[in-house]
Amino acid sequence: MAGDLTDPMGPNALREERSKVEFDVEAMKVVWAGGVEEKNIQDRIKTLVANDPVFDKKSRPGLDHKTLVKLSMKKAAHAFKLFQEQNMTEHEATLVRYYVDEPGFADLHWGMFIPAIKGQGTEEQQKKWLPLAQKMSIIGCYAQTELGHGSNVQGLETEAVFDPSADEFVLHSPSLTSTKWWPGGLGKASTHAVVYARLITDGKDYGVHAFIAQIRSLEDHHPLPGVTVGDIGVKFSNGGYNTMDNGLLRFDHVRIPRENLLMRLATVTKEGKYVKSGYPKQLGYGAMVSVRAHIINDASDFLSRAVTIATRYSAVRRQFGGGDGKPEIQVIDYKSQQSRLFPILASSYAFRFVGEWMTTLYDDVMARLQVNDFTTLPEVHACTAGLKSICTSYTAKSIEECRILCGGHGYLCSSGLPELYGAYVPSCTYEGDNTILLFQVARYLIKSLSQVGGGKNPTGTAAYLGNIRRLATENCRVKQGAEWLNYQTVLEAFQARAARLSGACALKLNKAPDLEAAFEEYSTDMGEAAQAHCQVIIVDKFAEKMKSEFPGKGTKDILEVLFFVYSLDLITRHAAEFLSTGYLTSEQLALAKDQLRACFRKVRPNAVGLVDAFGHTDHYLGSILGRYDGDVYPNLYKAAWEEPLNDTVVAEGYEPYLRPILKHQLRQSKL
């Protein structure tokens, strides 16, 4: 009908999809949230945020960096007021920041500045700084990376030279490359920073240590004398990470009291004597471990948002087919669309469960550290580094894949996907470049294997390496497709591939005269072995999760299908490694692919239910394509007319630029 700007097709499509779902979506929401009580808290907070006009984010992609940072300060201040007025718990306050959904200085204040003080400050220092930080009487950031060095933390150049005559450290940036560069919240918001600098006393360099430095006045926010500080500029894409004031910082012989050295790991006496506390130096990396654990949890959240948008839109969108009064085919019914979409859906759940496990592992190591038990620290480091690496790499890639799955409309900012990608993609770099982090895992694997060589079995996530002799010699026994649908069969395949890849690396290193040179030479193989090991962890934790009780009808059955989608998809995507290590034959691989296709058929009627179970509000998704009601086209049309370019009928550039050319051409052609 001409002039009718409504379109019932989208809402009808999603209603129909929801009527086909075979499991209890409400029960799955509880599984996803991690329990009934947690779901209730999350529902309350996400509704609170969605209904608060200060947290509106619709216009964000069109705003410049300056405005975005100002608005993010407004949102942070408003959020802090809410925490206080409603007497929120720390968890509730974190959820508010989470659903506000915008990177900002407060993330670094709460997420790194405070944890760094907790992890590296003495009790006395914590008593002094934490109440100030928790009341936000000071705002802090984490100033580690410099213009010249990020990954190589030991290469940092900022100096902190102890002056015993004044009982002070003198902070100084000796070169251009020593400029602190990147710290979030540093550019415009922070009054204080945890600064990583080389501790020099009595003429000796003791390496990188953490100091608290005040950088801006608490009266008027101007930089303190000797401090040069500012923002480093616009990043990557509109919206995205531009709500954050990533900064630069230089010190010109700035004096701070001796007590501002965070002294849990080492102290300097008044006389300038350096004294180690006996704690392992790795504790100095504690804030990074904590944020990496957090990032692993976040991956499932970002992935689930992207796949919600792509799944709902794929059910609404129709292309080809139809005729004879029949509608065209929903793009979600194309097998190629399913083969790209459903593994992402399954990965969201897989990452959620490994994130849950990561939280327990992290809490356990924190409890141990309290009683000076450092035994599990290397494993926690390897797990946080490795899982951070593979979960963020996959999530970033998959957000982009979801955008492509949404065709042209995915490229519009109103799809929510470009902004989601812009905000997420730096997580592949920050908190450790993903390649560098895989090397840390590889080193851990090589150490674990050398333990096996010495007759000692590794524990925890590397325990399977204790069976390396069997895993390296016994090949897969699958003869019929259905045999793939077995947790143990799948897990063994992943363990065998990882053990064989790690074993091959260890052999090469054993033969090499120079270990470090060999590590560099075979670094690609090391990275592959590390990735394979991390996939063992995810598959293992998903399988373990499946042993638990699940509420509601059909939830366990569909999660089981997702387990096999996740794992069989990985096997087919990494087929070269499963084949080249000799564990699988090409016939067995073909059988795995058949089973994967069969699993896709089981996911299909449940796809919209599975994304509904994430429980994302329309505010949180910020996407017209992913709207809960499926009313996509009328809202895309409406949004186009909200575009500021359409505020005037004739473009502002017409008079100065277009009109003269058009008039000129007109005269030339004498029309």
Ligand X SMILES: Cc1cc2nc3c(=O)[nH]c(=O)nc-3n(C[C@H](O)[C@H](O)[C@H](O)COP(=O)(O)OP(=O)(O)OC[C@H]3O[C@@H](n4cnc5c(N)ncnc54)[C@H](O)[C@@H]3O)c2cc1C
Given the complex with ligand PKZ, which of 151 and 217 has the nearer CB atom? 151
C-alpha 546/C-alpha 561 separation (Å) is: 11
Helix or strand run (H / E) with residue 517: helix 515-521
Query: How would you class 351 by CB atoms within 10 Å of its CB: exposed for 0-12, middle for 13-18, buried for 19 or more?
Result: buried
**Which of ligand X, ligand PKZ, none interacts with 98 (beta carbon under 5 to 8 A by kind)?**
ligand PKZ
Binding-site size for ligand X (CB under 6 A) equals 20
Q: Under the criterion CB under 6 A, does residue 540 sit at the interface with ligand PKZ?
A: no
Min dist CB 523 to ligand X, Å, is 6
- Residue 87 CB, nearest distance to ligand PKZ (Å)? 19
Q: Is 89 in the site for ligand PKZ (CB under 6 A)?
A: no
Q: How far apart are CA 668 and CA 671, in angstroms?
A: 8
Contact partner, 489, from ligand PKZ, ligand X, none, Cβ < 5-8 Å per class: none
Binding flag, residue 289, ligand PKZ (CB under 6 A): yes
111 binds ligand PKZ (CB under 6 A): yes
436 belongs to the binding site for ligand PKZ (CB under 6 A)? yes
DSSP 267: E
485 forms part of the interface with ligand PKZ (CB under 6 A): no
Q: Which is nearer to ligand X, 399 or 592 (CB)?
A: 399
Query: Is 489 a binder of ligand PKZ (CB under 6 A)?
Result: no
Report whether 184 belongs to an annotated binding site.
yes
Residue whose CB is less far from ligand PKZ, 229 or 442 = 442
Q: Does 181 bind ligand PKZ (CB under 6 A)?
A: no
Nearer to ligand X, 8 or 233 (CB): 233
**Of 381-389, 423-431, 444-452, 645-653, which part binds ligand X (CB under 6 A)?**
423-431
Distance of CA 194 to the CA centre of its chain: 23
> Which candidate in 379, 431, 528, 560 is catalytic?
431
Task: Name the β-bridge partners of 275.
Answer: 267
Give CA–CA dist 583/492, Å, rounded: 10
Q: Does 63 bind ligand X (CB under 6 A)?
A: no
User: Could you say whether residue 201 binds ligand X (CB under 6 A)?
Assistant: no
Q: What is the dihedral of CA 397, 398, 399, 401, to 10 degrees?
A: 90
Q: Does 302 bind ligand X (CB under 6 A)?
A: no
C-beta of 291: minimal distance to ligand PKZ in Å? 5
Q: How many residues bind ligand PKZ (CB under 6 A)?
A: 28
Q: Is 145 annotated as a binding residue?
A: yes
Helix (H, G, I), strand (E, B) or coil at 456: coil
Contacts of 494 (CB under 8 A, 6+ apart): 532, 535, 536, 539, 540, 567, 570
Return the structure tokens found at 527.
């990275």
Collapsing DSSP states into helix, strand and coil, what is residue 615? Answer: coil
- DSSP H helices in 62-122: 65-85, 90-100, 105-108, 114-120
Q: Which of 381, 533, 593, 627 binds ligand PKZ (CB under 6 A)?
A: 381
Using the structure block, give the residue that is written with the tokens 């009934």: 36
State which H helix or E strand residue 313 sits in: helix 286-316
Interface residue with ligand PKZ among 65, 172, 264, 294 (CB under 6 A) is: 294
DSSP 327: P
Q: Which does 94 bind (CB under 5 to 8 A by kind): ligand X, ligand PKZ, none?
A: ligand PKZ
Task: Give rounded-to-5 percent helix, strand, coil for the chain.
Answer: 60, 10, 30
Helix (H, G, I), strand (E, B) or coil at 255: strand
| Helical segments of 317-376, H only | 335-370
Q: 3-state SS string over 378-410?
A: HHHHHHHHHHHHHHHHHHHHHHHHHHHHCHHHH
Q: What is the length of the chain?
A: 671
Give dist(CA 102, CA 72) in Å, integer.
Answer: 8
Helices (H), 172-220: none
Give the distance, in angstroms, between the CA of residue 53 and the centroid of all CA atoms in the same chain. 27
Among 42, 120, 125, 144, binds ligand PKZ (CB under 6 A): 144
401 among known catalytic residues: no
Asked if residue 386 binds ligand X (CB under 6 A), the reply is: no
636 touches ligand X (CB under 6 A):
no
Please state, in angstroms and rounded to a whole number, the distance separating the CA atoms of residues 421 and 396. Answer: 7
Alpha-helical regions (H) of 604-658: 607-612, 618-621, 632-641
Binding pattern for the stretch 167-186 against ligand X, x by CB under 6 A and - elsewhere: ---------------xxx--
In this chain, which stretch among 56-64, 94-102, 386-394, 616-624 interacts with ligand PKZ, using CB under 6 A?
94-102
C-alpha distances in Å from residue 394, one per residue of 29, 425, 428, 596, 610 = 23, 10, 9, 19, 20
Candidates 44-52, 427-435, 490-498, 556-564; binding stretch for ligand PKZ (CB under 6 A): 427-435
- Decide: is 422 part of the binding site for ligand X (CB under 6 A): no
Residues in 92-131 at the binding interface with ligand X, rule: CB under 6 A: 108
Is there binding between residue 438 and ligand PKZ (CB under 6 A)? no
Answer for which of 9, 366, 436, 639 binds ligand X (CB under 6 A) is 436
Name the minimum Å distance from CB 84 to ligand X: 26
Q: Restricting to residues 229-258, which ones interact with ligand X according to CB under 6 A?
A: 241, 246
How far is 487 from 616, CA to CA, in rounded Å? 30
- Burial of residue 595 (CB within 10 Å: 0-12, 13-18, 19+) is buried
- Pick from 248, 288, 498, 532 the residue near ligand PKZ by CB under 6 A: 288
Find which of ligand PKZ, ligand X, none residue 80 binds, CB within 5 to 8 Å per kind.
none
Q: Per-residue b/e over 602-617, b at no fewer than 16 CB within 10 Å?
A: bbbebbbbbbbbbbbe
Choose the one of ligand X, ligand PKZ, none that binds residue 538, judging by a C-beta under 5 to 8 angstroms depending on kind: none
User: Would you count residue 114 as binding ligand PKZ (CB under 6 A)?
Assistant: no
- The answer to the question of residue 211 lying near ligand X (CB under 6 A) is no
User: Which residues line the annotated binding site?
Assistant: 145, 184
Catalytic annotation, residues: 431
> Which residues of this protein are in contact with ligand X, per CB under 6 A?
108, 142-145, 149-151, 182-184, 241, 246, 426, 429-430, 432-433, 435-436
> Which residues of this protein are in contact with ligand PKZ, per CB under 6 A?
94, 97-98, 107, 111-112, 142, 144-145, 150-151, 153-154, 184, 282, 285, 288-289, 291, 294, 377-378, 381, 430-432, 436, 440
User: Which residues line the annotated binding site for FAD?
Assistant: 145, 184
